[in-house]
Structure 1
Amino acid sequence: MTDPLERIAAALERLAPPPPASADPLAHPAYLWHGEVLEAARGFAPLPLDMLTAMDAQKASLIENFRRLAAGHAAHDVLLWGARGTGKSALVASTAAATGLALVEVATASLDSLPRLFATLAPVKRAFVVFIDDLGFSAPSEARALRSLLQGGAEARPDNTRLAVTSNRRHLVPRDIAEQESAINPRDAVDDALALADRFGLSLGFHVIDQDTYLAIIERYATSYGLPFDPVDAVGWATRRGSRSGRVAWQYVVDLAGRAGVAIDRGKGA
C-alpha cells in the first residue's frame, strides 16, 4: 500500500473498529441500548415482586399492563413518578421479569436514537419494555421528539414495544409561575409543559413513606436474608440520612449484612 491516503484510512479503521454485533433479541432477559446495537445486560437479577413493599396498588396496575403486553394485547406506555428512592425502577425491572417481558434500558443521552431501536425491535417475535430511568427535561421543547414517538407522530413505537419511564417530576418538565406571566397565551405554555406526561396511558405515583412503612420494608428484607435488626437503630439510620425511603431501607439492610459478615445481592436498586 503506497498511497498515503490509503495508509491513513487503514490506520483510522484500526483506531475505530466497527461496533460490536447486536445481541440476540430473543436470548436474554434484559438489554442495554446506547444508540447503535442491543447489548445483553450482565447480572440482571431483579427482586421477586413479593419483596417490594408499600406499593401494592402500583404493583397491581403495572403487572396487569405488562401481562397485556406480553400476551400481545393492547397495553399502555407507563410513567412512574414521585419521590426519589421509592422503588420505581425496581418495580419496572421486577415486573418485566415476572411477566416474561424483555427489558431494554435506554440511556437518556440516547433518546434521539429511539426510532432506530424501535426499528430493531419491531420485527422480533417478542414483547419489550423500553425502560428510561430518571427522565427529566429542562424545557418543554426538549420533550417534543419523545411526545411524537408516544402518540401522534408519523413513526410511533411498534405494537410489541411499550415505554416505561421513571421520573421525580410528575410532568417531566419543570413548572414555573413565570410561564403564565410571560406567554402571550398562558394556557398554551401550560399545555406544552404537560403534553408529554399526558401521553402516557398509565401514570403511577410514588410518595414519601412514613416511619411504620419504612420499618416494614426493612423487616421484609431482613427476614428474607435472615438478618436481625433493631427498629431504633433503623430509625437512627434514616435520621442520619435525612430521609426515609425504600432506597434508604435497602442501604440499611446492606449495612446490617456487612456487620454480620454476610454477602447479599439484590440486583437493580430502588
Structure 2
Amino acid sequence: MTAPTASTEDHTAVLARIAEALERLVPPAARQVDWLADPAYVWTGGAARPVERLDAPALDLLRGIDNQKDRVVTNVERLAAGHAAHDMLLWGSRGMGKSAVLRAAIRAADTVHPGRIALVQVAQEALSGVSTLFALLGKVDRSFLVFIDDLGFEDGDGAGPRVLRSWLEGGVEARPANVRLAVTSNRRAIVGRSMAEQDDPINPRDLVDEKLALADRFGLSVGFHNCDQDAYLAIIGGYASEFGLDWEPGDALEWSRRRGARSGRVAWQYVNELAGRAGKAI
C-alpha cells in the first residue's frame, strides 16, 4: 500500500480547516423549548425563549384597581383550570397596572393549578409569527395566555387589525382552544384615532363604530383609569407597609407633582426612592 505523500496530507489538512470554518459560520441549532417547564416565555417571531421566573407583584399590593383585578384574576384562573375563558383587552391610562395585573394573575393561578398555565409575551414586531406560535401551543397539554403589550395600529394599517380579528373570531389562523389572548393598549379602540378612509363627515358614527369594532371582539374589556389622590396614597401605603418603609403623604404628593402624574407606576417609583433613602433593597 502506498504511503500518503506530504502533498496529500497538506490537502487533507486544508479541507479539514475549510470544513471547520464552514461549521463556525452555521448558527447552532435553536434549543428545543419545553412548553411544560417554565412559567413564562418570550416569542420572538420564529422561536421562543423560556423565562424561568415570572416577575410579578403580589396581588394584594395592587391597590386602587380592585374591580379590574378581580375580573382579570377570575378569567385567568378559569383558563388555568381548563374552563371557558375570555380573550382580554386591558385599556386605559399609562402606569395603572395593566401588564402587572396580568403577570400577577398568572402567578396566582399557578399556585392553584401548578404547571397548568403559562404566559407567552409577544412583541408587536413579532406579530407576523403568531400563527406559528398558535400551531405549537395547540399541541401542548397546557393552557397559555398570549400577551401583547401596548398594542396600537397606525393609521392606514388595515392588515394588522384584520389579522387580529381573524385570531379572535375563529378564522383559519384562530388561536387554539387552550390559548387566549391578552392585549394591553392605551386606548380602547386600539386602531388609530384618525382613519382617513373612514373619515366621512356625513356619517361620523361609522368612524366611531369602526374604531370600536376590534375592541368588541374581546370577551372581556377592562378599563384602567387615572387614580385620584386617595388611591395614589393607598398604593404607596401598601408597598411601604410591605417593605417596612417610613413615608409622609406630603412628600409622596410632592413626588407626584414633580412627575406631573399620579399612577401606580409613579407610586412604585416613589417607593423605590424611599427604599433608596433608607438604604434598603426591594
Query: Is the shorter-chain TM-score for this pair beyond 0.5, marking a shared fold?
Result: yes
Structure 2 counterpart of 1:94, from 104, 117, 121: 104
Alignment of 1:50 with 2:68, yes or no, is no
Structure 2 counterpart of 1:194, from 212, 226, 239: 212
CA distance in 1, matches of 2:75, 2:257: 37
Structure 2 counterpart of 1:153:
171
CA distance in 2, matches of 1:210, 1:184: 39
Which structure has the greater CA radius of gyration?
2
Structure 1 counterpart of 2:221, from 196, 203, 228: 203
Aligned residue pair count: 262
Q: Is the 8 A contact 2:40 2:53 kept in 1?
A: no
Q: Is the 8 A contact 1:183 1:189 kept in 2?
A: no
Alignment of 1:15 with 2:25, yes or no, is yes
Q: Deviations over 1:149-173 (max 9, x none)?
A: 1114112101111011100011101
Alpha-carbon shift at residue 194 of structure 1 (Å):
2.5
Structure 1 gap ranges (5+): 265-270
Structure 2 counterpart of 1:169, from 177, 187, 193: 187
* Bigger mean CA offset, 135-144 vs 102-111: 135-144
Structure 1 counterpart of 2:127, from 111, 128, 141: 111
Q: Deviations over 1:164-219 (max 9, x none)?
A: 11000111012238665448976655444332211110000000011111000000
Please give the secondary structure, in 2, of the residue aligned with 1:20: coil
Q: Is the 8 A contact 1:30 1:103 kept in 2?
A: yes
Structure 2 counterpart of 1:78:
88
CA distance in 1, matches of 2:226, 2:19: 57
Structure 1 counterpart of 2:151, from 129, 135, 156: 135
Structure 2 counterpart of 1:268:
none
CA distance in 2, matches of 1:42, 1:184: 54
Q: CA RMSD in A?
A: 2.6
Structure 1 counterpart of 2:278, from 255, 260, 265: 260
Alpha-carbon shift at residue 130 of structure 1 (Å):
0.5
CA distance in 2, matches of 1:47, 1:237: 22
CA 1:208–1:120: 2 relative to 1, 3 Å: same
Alpha-carbon shift at residue 37 of structure 1 (Å):
2.1
* Bigger mean CA offset, 113-122 vs 145-154: 145-154
Alpha-carbon shift at residue 72 of structure 1 (Å):
1.3
CA distance in 2, matches of 1:27, 1:235: 44
CA 1:185–1:27: 2 relative to 1, 3 Å: same
Q: Deviations over 1:5-45 (max 9, x none)?
A: xx999867633504521321111111111012221125422
TM score, norm. by length of structure 1: 0.89
CA distance in 2, matches of 1:184, 1:212: 44
Q: Is the 8 A contact 1:171 1:194 kept in 2?
A: yes
CA 1:196–1:19: 2 relative to 1, 3 Å: farther
Taking CA–CA contacts closer than 8 Å with sequence separation of 6 or more, which of the two structures ends up with the larger relative contact order? 1
* Bigger mean CA offset, 140-149 vs 255-264: 140-149
Q: Is the 8 A contact 1:179 1:186 kept in 2?
A: no
* Bigger mean CA offset, 87-96 vs 191-200: 191-200
CA distance in 2, matches of 1:258, 1:136: 35
Q: Is the 8 A contact 1:81 1:206 kept in 2?
A: yes
CA 1:196–1:16: 2 relative to 1, 3 Å: farther
Q: Which amino acid aligns with 1:233?
A: D
CA distance in 2, matches of 1:74, 1:209: 32
Structure 2 counterpart of 1:30, from 23, 36, 40: 40
Q: Is the 8 A contact 1:86 1:247 kept in 2?
A: yes
CA 1:162–1:182: 2 relative to 1, 3 Å: same
Q: Deviations over 1:57-87 (max 9, x none)?
A: 1111111111211121111100000000000
CA 1:176–1:9: 2 relative to 1, 3 Å: farther
Identity in percent: 58
Structure 2 gap ranges (5+): 1-10, 111-116
